[in-house]
Amino acid sequence: MALRRATARRFLIMLAALAAVLVTPAFASAKSNLQVGFLDNAYAGTYPTQFWADAKQLDVGFMRWDMQWGEMAVTRPANPRNPEDPAYHFAQTDQFVTTAAAHGLQDRVMFTLWKTPTWATKAKSAKATQMPNLTDWRNFVAACATRYSGTYIPPGSTTPLPRVTSWETWNEPNASFAFQPQRKNGKFVSPANYVKLLNALKSEVNKAVSFKPTFVAGALYKQGNPGNPGPIQFMQGMKAAGAKFDVLSMHPYNNTPRLGLKDGIGQSTQTPRFVGVGNFQTFITRANQIFGKKYPIWVTEIGWATPAAGKTQYTVSPAQQAQFAYESIMRFRQLPQVEKMVWFLVRDNVPKPGAWYTTGLQKADGTNKPSFNSWISAADKLRPSPIR
């Protein structure tokens, strides 16, 4: 009798397991090597103690840090390849990489270099989005790479700054609000210009360090329009211009935020109107076809905004944000080529005139949104994070 009960119990357990697989097919075969993290210069730079306490709770395994050239060198350095030139402002970046390493994230920080200073472009508008002078760009990259090579000892210190091993060129270069010019004489020139920056960065970093860095290319905006190429067309331009990189990066923000992971489903598998989480497999497939190689994919920026005073468009409810954050991690965990997912903001920006963002897992006052805990629930299902 006991044997029959044991056999029946095993059979019921087997049926329950099978039912679970059938009910949740999307996440049943998920892998566990995805690393998740954040981009939040404002919070990390202003309140580093709270930021890193939150990062530990959130089980981060990777961090992105924006190296905004126009803010780091407002005036032209006299010795631009020298990281000690007084025109450079590296203090917050030094603090970030040092604290990241102290928290177990050595070699798990990616720099994104972009935003042109007014003195580094000949363009009439002289905006931060303009294609910079290539020599000035090379000099800035060389200074950054030397400082974060793992061997550079800053004045007043006895130990080198931690090295940074991952380098991303520009941010959303296929979007006119982030990179110009996009067109010239009726043809797209942004892919070829971008590749000049990409390959120059690769060359300068390789000269400055003694290890093999990871070069991240793309940081692609989700869609195109008549004035700028979409991600598929931009990748074709990168290929034609001879882009050299190790990892391809993408920012699959939703067009219709409330649709969550369903946004993008049903689009063309060759020329999608935009790339969201819902049709991210299309992006991967097309990238593999264009480059003739399966590059690792890093989602170096994503997020859903929640409503706030003066911020109601393109938002989702806090409950929806929590659901979509969890589901995004689970979805990207399932895709074999996707290695990293970076969420934009731990904490909402403080409201201000102009652009400010509410994609954080916390409100601007530090109150946790429901997504803070849903993120932890998802991150707990990944490979254990090294953060401490």
Mean pLDDT of 42-64: 97
Query: Would the pLDDT of 68 be above 70?
Result: yes
What is the spatial distance between Cα 301 and Cα 221, in angstroms, rounded to a whole number? Answer: 10
- Domain membership of residue 13 (yes or no) is no
Structural domain includes residue 356: yes
Q: Has residue 189 been placed in a domain?
A: yes
Residues whose CB falls within 8 Å of the CB of residue 114, separated by 6 or more in sequence, listed in order:
66, 67, 68, 69, 169, 170, 171, 178
Q: Is the pLDDT of residue 367 over 80?
A: yes
Percent of the chain whose pLDDT exceeds 90: 87
Domain-located, residue 281: yes
Q: Per the domain annotation, does 11 fall within a domain?
A: no
**Residue 18 forms part of a structural domain:** no
pLDDT at 5: 35
Span of 7-21, 24-38, 129-143, 323-337 with lowest mean pLDDT: 7-21
Q: How many domains, in total, are found in the chain?
A: 1
Task: Specify the higher pLDDT residue, 31 or 388.
Answer: 388
pTM as predicted: 0.91
Give domain status of residue 386, yes or no: no
* Residue predicted with more confidence, 211 or 8: 211
Per-residue pLDDT, averaged over 313-323, amounts to 96
pLDDT of residue 28: 41
Contact 260, 326 (CB under 8 A): no
Radius of gyration of the chain (CA): 22
**Residue 88 belongs to a domain with what CATH number?**
3.20.20.80
Tell me the per-residue pLDDT of 168-189, one tens digit each, with 9 for 90 and over.
999 999 999 999 999 999 999 9
203 pLDDT above the threshold of 80 = yes
Give the residue-averaged pLDDT of 272-289: 97
The CB-based long-range contact list for 7-14 (8 Å cut-off, 24+ gap) reads none
In the predicted model, is pLDDT for residue 319 greater than 80? yes
Q: Which of 197, 173, 166, 164 is nearest to 90 (CA)?
A: 164
Domain with 143 in it: 31-379
Residue 2 within any structural domain of the chain: no
pLDDT at residue 246, rounded to an integer: 98
Place 32 in a pLDDT band, splitting at 50, 70 and 90. low
Alpha-carbon gap, residue 265 to 259, rounded angstroms: 10
Averaged over 114-126, what is the pLDDT? 86
